[in-house]
Amino acid sequence: MRQLEFDFSNRYKILAEASGGKLTEEDVYNLETYGAKHPSEFAPDPADEPKPGYCVCGEKDCPDEYAHMTSGY
């Protein structure tokens, strides 16, 4: 019964194979779970980082910039 191959434990393996080697099982899992191939795709885009002179909180010349930077905001 071919349908049995699609049980949960085989699902990512089968989808990975179906991708022709483009995706690993982990990629498939991440795509299904997070909607992206790698969790790193959710990391903040470097373009989103504050401009020079601006604090991570978005304020220019923020008096608490050091605290904001180091506290992780």
Residues that bind Zn ion (CB under 5 A): 55, 57, 59, 62, 64, 68
CB of 72 to Zn ion, least distance (A): 12
Closest approach of Cβ 11 to Zn ion, in Å? 45
- Could you tell me the smallest distance in angstroms from the CB atom of residue 43 to Zn ion? 21
Q: Is 25 left (phi over 0), alpha (psi -120 to 50) or beta?
A: alpha
Residue written as token pair 């608490």? 64
Please identify, using beta-carbon distances, which residue of 29 and 54 lies nearer to Zn ion: 54
